[in-house]
């Protein structure tokens, strides 16, 4: 229907449209049918299409013999019509609609892993925005007359807000866009990130001053910001090209740190620093650098051992086992195969046999030869094939960090590796909180560039009795069991699911938990096994893909990070939510240019950090700068009357908190938590008013009339909205609840 509807063609078009509506009506429980006009990339001239719609709607409604009436509708109007029918609905339980398939050979599971670089940049940009929002909010509330221009600051945040929102397009973060559009997304994200980094630097410079006229040779300053509303003990990494002899805190005390040669060719050394950070707080450190060898009297030095390269794939185990331990785990490395063979959970003294291997699915690119893989779809034409013929091993040991470096080569003569795994164990000294820092086994992968029509995975095999069941998260909110399905065809692809942040396999005794800092595709194709798709490079001759340049000839090198946690269900249940957020929102490290001695004046005070209970997450603390009234009805009236927008509102703080745990998920952390906002935010100023809002902040909660849908599993206490007065500035948050508020300070 790209052409204009005419008097000669209108009846034929109307018959076709009504026939399609009646076909779709069979899919719906009521007589209200939501019928979309058009499809992806179908129409490009909106004037022609609105004119066509006007003519067809009028024509169909005038012909009672069609038995159909048609009207324009918003989603809100459609759902209101459904609600008014007062129907009773069944609940799907733990299931959703994934994975989608448009054909038995067209499983739409490829986009879970397409354009891994874009997925990583988008997640880092979102994390930086999260940090920038809370840092600016605290700065403006504490220093309303500070030197940082608040309009300029808001512009930096808005630019990154836009870029992060833009890439959420269904052909954005999915990796299903053309290369030109993908480059645009990344450019916008980088531009926005640059602006917010400048804002963070300006905030720090205005709060901490240094004697710029006194240069101390070899002394560099870093500032570390914790964007989470919890006190945390963790490690930060600083890339350097000069050696380090010591790291000091603000009081001049030595800080635990380790330096060793870097595995990254872009710099010479990796410096690991143990930091203790208050909620939404800063800490400053001084790094003493010298062009000399570091002294172990003031800093820990990692020792590196290199092993000869050898053919991979050997199944012969030897007695040459090297144990590498921290307080939580022992990794067992077979020195004859250069591979991991097991992990011991030291808390339970329980060992899980475990192996890891990089493999590749070889994809078909010729539609005439069979089904294909592309940006959207994944089709495994055979079993995954080992990707490496030889392996080289390096081990770095130290008092704070142990690193296992494995380099994988496509053939025995190749000089450049295509795959690598860098596994790290962190050692937390006595006297520091070890709850979270030693738990993850950090694995950073390096994959690529791939050969054409390859889909790269890492497969982890254990002895866990899982019956091929895997659990994955839905939008990092709810875990869902994914039962293995034996399909008539395309079984591999149709058992892939998105891993937004979390996936795990388990048996009665042990759980293997995976946390990612970007999204991936994940599957369990065998008992005790999990595989993660890390990278894809594809080309095919499908007409649709060629016409819109949607082939995935991605020659990039990707460097995703996965945290592995091995433990009992009880331990991992209590930790996985916080660990996932600690991975996503790592402390932000900002290097100098500051040099010299710190002045006595220091306005970066965090005597009253913003600290929430461990089961409550601060989803956002932001000054949105919205120009509209907090009265939504008044705002809509102003829009309809085309009233001029007002100036940005810097007094309204948007705050959203989330209870992280399900009912009965943990005996302690699943309990409701009570938050007093005057106490929580006293470091920012005196709270004078708190308004509870709808989830998005759009509606004033007391004015909302939430619909109550009838279901076969309805409980009497479902969907009750807390209307308790906020006069005491206190709310109680129940399991999995998300609460949104506007906060105003004196």
600 pLDDT above the threshold of 50: no
Residues 439 and 505 in one domain: yes
- Is 91 part of a structural domain of the chain? no
State which of 239-243, 317-321, 397-401 shows the largest mean pLDDT.
Answer: 397-401
> 67 in a domain, yes or no?
yes
Which of 166-170, 643-647, 739-743 has the lowest average pLDDT?
643-647
Looking at residue 446, what DSSP letter applies?
Answer: E
List Cβ neighbours of 268 (8 Å cut-off, separation of 6 or more): 240, 241, 242, 261, 262
Q: Which domain holds residue 221?
A: 211-300+587-591
What tens digit of pLDDT does each residue of 184-214 get? 999 999 999 999 999 999 999 988 765 554 4
680 in Cβ contact with 612 (< 8 Å): yes
Strand partners, 353: 342
Could you report the per-residue pLDDT of 305-331, keeping only the tens digit for each?
A: 999 999 987 666 567 899 999 999 999
Single residue among 30, 63, 86 that ends a domain in this structure: 86
Share of the chain above pLDDT 90, in %: 76
Quick check: 532 and 310 in contact, CB under 8 A? no
Matching residue, tokens 């062009």: 291
Query: Mind giving me the DSSP string for 20-34?
Result: HHHHHHTT-SSS---
Torsions phi, psi for 580 (to 5 deg)? -60, -40
Select from 235, 239, 587 the least CA-distant residue to 401: 235
Does pLDDT of 234 surpass 90? yes
Q: Hey, which bits of 202-292 come out as E strands?
A: 208-210, 219-225, 232-240, 243-248, 257-261, 269-277, 282-290
Instruction: Verify that 653 and 712 share a domain, yes or no.
Output: yes
Same domain, 556 and 677: no
Residue 381 included in any domain? yes
Last residue within a domain, chosen from 68, 86, 104:
86
Do residues 437 and 522 both lie within one domain?
A: yes
Residues near 699 by beta carbon (within 8 Å), at least 6 away in sequence: 632, 693
Q: Report the C-alpha gap between 319 and 317 in whole angstroms.
A: 7
* pLDDT attached to residue 213: 44
Considering the domain boundaries, does residue 327 fall inside one?
no
What average pLDDT is seen over the chain?
91
Q: Per-residue pLDDT for 644 more than 50?
A: yes
Is the bond preceding residue 449 a cis peptide, omega within 30 degrees? yes
Q: Mean pLDDT across the stretch 584-595?
A: 82
Q: Pseudo-torsion of CA 245, 246, 252, 254, nearest 10°?
A: -140
Mean pLDDT of 278-299: 82
CATH of the domain at 519: 2.70.98.30
- The string of pLDDT tens digits covering residues 411-420 is 878 889 999 9
User: Do 403 and 396 touch, CB atoms closer than 8 A?
Assistant: yes
Contact present, 731 and 692 (Cβ < 8 Å): yes
User: Are 577 and 659 within 8 A, CB to CB?
Assistant: no
Instruction: Assess whether 286 and 373 both reside in one domain.
Output: no
* % of the chain with per-residue pLDDT over 70: 92
Look up the CATH number of the domain holding residue 240.
Answer: 2.60.40.1180
Q: Which residues pair with 421 in a beta bridge?
A: 406, 445
The answer to whether residue 704 sits within a structural domain is yes
Contact yes or no for 461/528 (Cβ under 8 A) = yes
**Who's near 385: CB < 8 A, 6+ residues apart?**
359, 360, 361, 362
Across 401-422, average pLDDT: 93
Least Cα distance to 119 among 620, 521, 546 occurs for 521
- Same structural domain, 481 and 376: yes
* Residue closest to 502 by CA, chosen among 534, 528, 470, 476: 476
What are the tokens at 153?
């600051």
Each residue of 697-741: pLDDT tens digit? 988 888 888 889 998 876 654 455 555 556 689 999 999 999 999
HEC readout, 79-110: HHHHHHCCCEECCCCCCCCCCCEEECCEECCH
In sequence order, what are the beta bridge partners of 739?
657
Number of domains in the chain: 4
The radius of gyration of the chain's CA atoms, rounded to the nearest angstrom, is: 28
End of a domain among 34, 53, 86? 86
Looking at residue 630, what is its pLDDT? Answer: 76
- Please report whether residue 474 resides in a domain: yes
485/629 same-domain check: no
Instruction: Find tokens 């990254």 and name the residue.
Output: 264
Give 596's pLDDT tier (boundaries 50, 70, 90): very low
Judge if 576 and 621 occupy the same domain: no
Residue 476 backbone class (left: φ over 0; alpha: ψ -120 to 50; beta: rest): left
The residue-averaged pLDDT of 612-622 equals 98
Q: Please compute the mean of the pLDDT values over residues 97-116 and round it to a whole number.
A: 93
Residue 112 has pLDDT above 60, yes or no: yes
For residues 525 and 661, state if they share a domain.
no
Whether the pTM exceeds 0.85: the reply is yes
Taking 80 as the threshold, does the pLDDT of residue 252 lie above it?
A: yes
In a domain, 530, yes or no: yes
Q: Is 267 among the domain residues?
A: yes
Tell me phi and psi for residue 187, to 5 degrees: -60, -45
- Token readout for 115 is 């354009």
Judgement on whether residues 474 and 575 belong to the same structural domain of the protein: yes
Over residues 459-494, the pLDDT tens digits come to: 999 999 999 999 999 777 889 999 999 988 999 999
396 shares a domain with 280 = no
Q: Do 402 and 527 lie in a common domain?
A: yes
């Amino acid at each position: 229907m790209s052409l204009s509807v005419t008097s000669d063609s209108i009846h034929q078009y109307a018959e076709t449209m009504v026939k399609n509506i009646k076909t779709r009506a069979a899919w719906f429980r009521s007589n209200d049918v939501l019928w979309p006009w058009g499809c992806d990339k179908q129409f490009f001239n909106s004037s022609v299409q609105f004119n066509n719609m006007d003519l067809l709607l009028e024509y169909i409604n005038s012909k009672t013999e069609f038995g159909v009436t048609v009207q324009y509708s918003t989603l809100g109007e459609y759902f209101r019509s459904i609600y008014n029918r007062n129907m009773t609905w069944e609940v799907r339980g733990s299931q959703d609609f994934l994975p989608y398939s448009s054909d038995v050979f067209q499983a739409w599971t490829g986009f879970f892993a397409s354009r891994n670089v874009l997925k990583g940049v988008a997640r880092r940009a979102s994390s930086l925005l999260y940090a920038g929002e809370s840092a600016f909010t605290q700065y403006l509330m504490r220093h309303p007359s500070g030197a940082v221009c608040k309009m300029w600051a808001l512009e930096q945040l808005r630019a990154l807000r836009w870029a992060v929102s833009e890439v959420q397009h269904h052909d954005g973060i999915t990796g299903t866009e053309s290369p030109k559009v993908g480059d645009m997304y990344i450019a916008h994200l980088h531009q926005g990130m640059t602006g917010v980094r400048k804002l963070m630097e300006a905030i720090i410079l205005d709060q901490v001053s240094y004697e710029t006229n006194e240069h101390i040779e070899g002394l560099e300053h870093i500032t570390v910001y914790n964007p989470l509303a919890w006190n945390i003990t963790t490690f930060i990494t600083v890339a350097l090209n000069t050696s380090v002899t010591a790291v000091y805190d603000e009081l001049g005390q030595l800080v635990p740190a380790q330096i060793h040669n870097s595995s990254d060719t872009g710099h010479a050394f990796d410096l690991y620093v143990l930091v203790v950070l208050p909620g939404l707080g800063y800490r400053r450190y001084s790094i003493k650098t010298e062009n000399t060898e570091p002294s172990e009297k003031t800093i820990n030095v990692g020792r590196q051992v290199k092993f000869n390269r050898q053919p991979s794939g050997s199944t012969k185990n030897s007695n040459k086992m090297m144990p590498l331990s921290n307080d939580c785990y022992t990794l067992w490395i077979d020195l004859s195969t250069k591979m991991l063979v097991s992990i011991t959970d030291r808390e339970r003294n329980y060992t899980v046999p475990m192996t890891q291997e990089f493999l590749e699915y070889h994809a078909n690119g010729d539609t005439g030869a069979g089904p294909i893989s592309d940006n959207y779809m994944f089709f495994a034409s055979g079993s995954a094939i080992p990707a490496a013929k030889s392996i080289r091993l390096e081990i770095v040991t130290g008092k704070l960090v142990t690193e296992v470096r494995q380099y994988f080569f496509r053939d025995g003569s190749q000089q450049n590796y295509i795959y690598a795994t860098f596994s790290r164990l962190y050692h937390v000294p006595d006297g520091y909180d070890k709850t979270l820092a030693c738990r993850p086994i950090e694995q950073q992968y390096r994959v690529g560039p791939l050969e054409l029509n390859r889909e790269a995975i890492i497969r982890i095999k254990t002895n866990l009795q899982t019956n091929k069941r895997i659990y994955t998260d839905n939008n990092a909110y709810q875990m869902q069991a994914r039962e293995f399905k034996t399909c008539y065809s395309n079984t591999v692809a149709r058992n892939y699911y998105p891993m937004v942040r979390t996936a795990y396999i388990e048996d009665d005794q042990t759980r293997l938990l995976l946390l990612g800092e970007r999204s991936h595709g994940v599957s369990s194709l065998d008992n005790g096994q999990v595989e993660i798709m890390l990278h894809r490079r594809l080309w095919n001759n499908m007409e649709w893909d060629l016409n819109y340049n949607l082939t995935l000839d991605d020659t990039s090198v990707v460097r995703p990070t996965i945290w592995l946690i091995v433990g009992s269900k009880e331990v991992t249940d209590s930790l996985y939510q916080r660990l996932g957020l600690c991975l996503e929102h790592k402390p932000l490290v900002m290097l100098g240019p500051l040099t010299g001695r710190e002045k006595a004046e220091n306005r970066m005070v965090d005597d009253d950090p913003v600290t929430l209970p461990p089961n409550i997450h601060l989803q956002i603390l932001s000054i949105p700068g919205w120009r509209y009234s907090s009265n939504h009805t008044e705002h809509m009236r102003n829009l309809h009357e085309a009233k001029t927008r007002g100036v940005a509102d810097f007094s309204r703080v948007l705050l959203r908190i989330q209870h992280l745990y399900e009912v009965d998920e943990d005996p302690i952390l699943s309990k409701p938590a009570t938050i007093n906002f005057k106490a929580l935010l006293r470091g920012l100023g005196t709270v004078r008013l708190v308004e509870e809002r709808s989830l998005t902040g759009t509606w004033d909660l007391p004015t909302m009339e939430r619909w109550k849908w009838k279901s076969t599993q309805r409980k009497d206490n479902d969907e009750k909205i807390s209307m308790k007065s906020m006069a005491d500035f206190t709310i109680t948050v129940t399991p999995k609840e998300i609460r949104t508020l506007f906060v105003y300070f004196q």
